[in-house]
């Protein structure tokens, strides 16, 4: 078994130096985190030699060089480069990824650009990654796709392979109100893209819930504890807060390089309490807010002037994004203003540098800082907060952390603040500087233990194990797919002397429609049913919840049996309609006002009255509110009808009330008892069809449409497969 890691960037970057192409290790939280996990794989289901990392190598090369680089990257670095032109990368990475998804998912909608050309290049790059994966994939490989650059990739792969596919989003997933700002076509394709994966992972419970809500409201997919039953597979959305390589950071403190750097910093900063701020240059990080908070702190607390220093390190990021250049200018001006306003010849309030930080320098800064000030306006996780706590081997130091960072859910012992409130930042700095050492140690001990237990290896291993367990569940479902048995079914059908075929209609022979009358059968379906009904050995019965007039209107010309209102009305072929038992409908007048009241409170819902049943439809309503209203209606009806001889049942986007004692099972038995059938097949998609499946003889072919648990022996994915099966039988 191999693991295929797929991300926008490879863990190595190809650079051109003096006319030669060379490999250099890439930087970044994902690369360092996953590299630690991959290094730990020896002896597990995967081995170190059995993983491949697919991604962009950071450079465009000519066709002649591509194969040479691919071979070297694969053999020496377990890497498989996806080569893209500079023009494509400009519109994909700097365009759609950084000017559309990044600002929108971080709640900066005014910065988002909705450019059709960017979207088309985003699709093009996802397709290129799909092609690259297909070039190297093997049947037992596990595919793990990472981050917002490749949100279409899981579905593209799902359409070609049956391997386990996982996806992890490393940035926030926004609320429905933000996500729906994307054009309708884009947002649908992005959600469908993600749902191509078996497991979709997020850093926090909030992000997971926002995703599930969007899947419901935009695509209409309901979930059960994060699990979504889709047409072709089971998908699960779950929460996995990413950890760091705890031992790497903890042990690095005692390395010679870090100790030497620490000694230099201590010498320079010996007379001050150190407040540390490290971030990439990004408008989501709240650097301006924390500088303004620091300024307010100095205003309100003159006793601390000359005794503290804010060590501000800003790491260059995404050159070319206009907002970043403006922000750099603002930071420069703000630092100059604060230093000019409060500083003197002996003291500079802010030590500011704009540059990349080597690892040993970063760890040394963490280790000497009395306070870490981390105030993103929105952040998927924020590993800097975790790294700071980990490197405090003496357990001293105070973390001030924005509640908008994903890490704040785990680091509850930090001083948590709202970064939009500058006064709150100022107050938190004061609290941190004055916190007793014992309290610092108590808090940091708890957080360190937590980070040590759930490090990056545990995070990745949890994700992979959950992915494999979902695949096992998928296999159990797949075992029930008609698949290989369809040939046997057709042979049994052809050999049989007397056959009975019982078919549901909506969701089984045709897809669901917004309104029941829109699901009228097409000529192709009528032709198939007509051909099948002309065989004298075969009895076909349509068992539906629809009223008899509609069924008569649509299918009355065919030589088939019909069952209306789930078994209340029965019509043998070429005969008149009869009732299965005497029923009354005097209860309807008491129920209809309740259903109408609920329809009034849910735009798009409506009441359909039949002779002996009433249906409350909500397929055209808002799916989230519809689901809530349907549950409320079910509760009310169950209580209200406790002393009335009726059944209340919930189907697919419908709540129905009908006379008790009549169901599809009793209707099925009516037909089964009429002849000595040696072939019986029943197909349905609804839980109302379960009554029918239960009463069928043991060797019958009972088939559930959809991937939900059922009493049926087999499953088919959708109505298209049902139509194909019937066509194959007719041939």
Phi-psi region of 567 (alpha: psi -120 to 50; beta: other; left: phi over 0): left
Domain residue spans of the chain: 3-239, 247-453, 483-581+662-730, 588-659
How far is the C-alpha of 665 from the C-alpha of 693, rounded, in Å? 7
Question: Could you list the active site residues?
Answer: 504
How far is the C-alpha of 389 from the C-alpha of 386, rounded, in Å? 5
Cβ-count burial of 267 within 10 angstroms (0-12 exposed, 13-18 middle, 19+ buried)? exposed
Is the pLDDT assigned to residue 42 strictly greater than 70? no
- DSSP class of residue 136 equals H
pLDDT average, residue stretch 492-517: 93
C-alpha angle 474-154-23 in degrees, rounded to nearest 5: 125
149-189: pLDDT as tens digits: 999 999 999 999 999 999 999 999 999 999 999 999 999 99
pLDDT average, residue stretch 323-338: 93
| Secondary structure (3-state) at 718 | coil
- pLDDT given for residue 708 in this prediction: 82
How far is the C-alpha of 251 from the C-alpha of 390, rounded, in Å? 9
Q: Which two tokens stand for residue 94?
A: 């700097």
Band (21; pLDDT cuts 50, 70, 90): confident
In CATH terms, the superfamily for domain 483-581+662-730 is HAD superfamily/HAD-like (3.40.50.1000)
104-157: pLDDT as tens digits: 999 999 999 999 999 999 999 999 999 999 999 999 999 999 999 999 999 999
Query: What are the Cα distances from residue 285, in Å, to 114, 381, 402?
Result: 23, 12, 10
- pLDDT given for residue 37 in this prediction: 85
The fraction of the chain above a pLDDT of 70, given in percent, is 98
Question: DSSP string spanning 47-61?
Answer: -GGGEEEEEE-SS--
Question: DSSP string spanning 609-674?
Answer: E-SSEEEEE-TTS-HHHHHHHHHHHHHHHHHHTTTSSEEEEEETTEEEEEETT--HHHHHHHHHTT
In CATH terms, the superfamily for domain 3-239 is Glycogen Phosphorylase B; (3.40.50.2000)
Question: Do the domains 247-453 and 3-239 match in fold?
Answer: yes
In CATH terms, the superfamily for domain 588-659 is Trehalose-6-phosphate phosphatase related protein; domain 2 (3.30.70.1020)
Mean pLDDT of the chain: 93
Is the pLDDT assigned to residue 25 strictly greater than 90? no
Band (321; pLDDT cuts 50, 70, 90): low
683-702: pLDDT as tens digits: 999 888 999 999 999 999 99
Weakest-pLDDT range from 417-426, 432-441, 620-629: 620-629
625-680: pLDDT as tens digits: 999 999 999 999 999 999 898 999 888 899 999 988 889 999 999 999 988 899 99
How far is the C-alpha of 386 from the C-alpha of 449, rounded, in Å? 11
- pLDDT given for residue 124 in this prediction: 98
- Record the pTM: 0.90
Question: DSSP string spanning 547-565?
Answer: -HHHHHHHHTTSS-EEEEG
Backbone φ and ψ of 311, nearest 5°: -90, 105
How far is the C-alpha of 463 from the C-alpha of 33, rounded, in Å? 14
- pLDDT given for residue 467 in this prediction: 97
216 contacts 222 by C-beta, under 8 angstroms: yes
Does domain 247-453 correspond to CATH entry 3.40.50.2000?
yes
- Helix and strand tally (H, E) in the chain? 26, 28
How far is the C-alpha of 485 from the C-alpha of 272, rounded, in Å? 77
23 contacts 76 by C-beta, under 8 angstroms: yes
Minimal CA–CA distance to 193: which of 158, 233, 226?
158
């Amino acid at each position: 078994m191999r693991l295929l890691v797929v991300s926008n960037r490879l863990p190595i970057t190809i650079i051109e130096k003096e006319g030669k192409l060379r490999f250099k290790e890439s930087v970044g939280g994902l690369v360092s985190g996953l590299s630690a996990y991959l290094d730990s794989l020896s002896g597990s289901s995967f081995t170190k030699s059995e993983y491949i990392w697919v991604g962009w190598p950071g450079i465009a090369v000519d066709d002649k060089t591509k194969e040479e680089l691919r071979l070297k990257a694969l053999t020496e670095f377990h890497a498989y480069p996806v080569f893209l032109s500079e023009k494509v990368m400009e519109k994909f990475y700097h365009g759609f990824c950084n000017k559309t998804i990044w600002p929108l998912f971080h709640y900066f909608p005014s910065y988002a650009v909705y450019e059709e050309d960017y979207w088309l290049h985003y699709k093009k790059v996802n397709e290129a990654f799909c092609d690259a994966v297909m070039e190297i994939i093997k049947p037992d490989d596990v595919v793990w796709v990472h981050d917002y650059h490749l949100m279409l990739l899981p579905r593209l792969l799902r359409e070609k392979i049956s391997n386990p596919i996982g996806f992890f989003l490393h940035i926030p997933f926004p609320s429905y109100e933000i996500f729906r700002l994307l054009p309708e076509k884009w947002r649908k394709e992005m959600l469908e893209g993600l749902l191509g994966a078996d497991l979709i992972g997020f850093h926090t419970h909030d992000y997971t819930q926002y995703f599930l809500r969007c899947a419901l409201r935009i695509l209409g997919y309901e979930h059960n504890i994060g699990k979504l039953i889709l047409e072709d597979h089971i998908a699960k959305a779950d929460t996995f807060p990413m950890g760091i390589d705890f031992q790497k950071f903890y042990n690095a403190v005692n390395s010679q390089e870090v100790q030497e750097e620490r000694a230099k910093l201590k010498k320079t900063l010996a007379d001050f309490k150190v407040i540390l701020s490290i971030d990439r240059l990004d408008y989501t990080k709240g650097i301006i807010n924390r500088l303004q908070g620091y300024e307010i702190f100095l205003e309100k607390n003159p006793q601390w002037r000359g005794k503290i220093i804010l060590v501000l390190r800003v790491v260059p990021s995404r050159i070319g994004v206009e907002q970043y250049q403006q922000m750099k200018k603002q930071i420069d001006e703000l630092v100059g203003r604060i230093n000019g306003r409060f500083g003197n010849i002996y003291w500079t309030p802010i030590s500011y540098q704009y540059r990349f930080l080597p690892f040993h320098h970063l760890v040394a800064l963490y280790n000497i800082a009395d306070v870490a000030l981390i105030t993103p306006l929105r952040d998927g996780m924020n590993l800097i907060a975790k790294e700071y706590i980990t490197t405090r081997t003496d357990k001293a130091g105070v973390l001030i952390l924005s509640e908008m960072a994903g890490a704040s859910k785990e680091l509850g012992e930090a001083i948590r603040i709202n970064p939009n409130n500058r006064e709150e930042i100022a107050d938190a700095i004061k609290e941190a500087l004055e916190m007793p050492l014992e309290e610092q140690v108590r808090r940091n001990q708890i957080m360190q233990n937590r980070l040590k237990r759930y490090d990056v290896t545990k995070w990745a291993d949890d994700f992979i194990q959950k992915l494999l367990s979902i695949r096992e569940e998928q296999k159990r479902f797949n075992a029930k797919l008609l698949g290989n048995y369809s040939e046997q079914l057709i042979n049994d059908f052809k050999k049989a002397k007397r056959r009975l075929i019982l078919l549901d209609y909506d969701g089984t022979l045709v897809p669901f429609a917004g309104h029941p009358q829109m699901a009228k059968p097409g000529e192709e379906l009528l032709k198939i049913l007509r051909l099948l009904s002309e065989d004298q050995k075969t009895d076909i019965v349509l068992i539906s919840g629809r009223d008899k007039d509609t069924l008569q209107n649509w299918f009355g010309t065919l030589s088939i049996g019909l069952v209306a209102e789930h078994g209340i009305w029965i019509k043998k072929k070429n005969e008149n309609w009869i009732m299965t038992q005497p029923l009354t409908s005097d209860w309807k007048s008491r129920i209809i006002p309740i259903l109408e009241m609920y329809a009034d409170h849910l735009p798009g819902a409506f009441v359909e009255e039949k002779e002996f049943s009433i249906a409350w439809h909500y397929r055209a309503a808002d799916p989230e509110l519809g689901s809530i209203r349907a549950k409320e209606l079910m509760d009310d009806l169950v209580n209200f009808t406790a002393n009335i001889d009726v059944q209340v049942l919930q189907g697919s986007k419908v709540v129905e009330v009908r006379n008790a004692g009549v169901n599809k099972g009793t209707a099925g038995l009516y037909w089964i008892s009429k002849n000595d059938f040696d072939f019986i097949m029943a197909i349905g998609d609804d839980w109302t069809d379960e009554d029918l499946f239960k009463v069928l003889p043991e060797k019958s072919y009972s088939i559930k449409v959809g991937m939900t648990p059922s009493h049926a022996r087999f499953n088919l994915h959708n109505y298209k497969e049902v139509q194909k099966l019937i066509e194959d039988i007719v041939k």
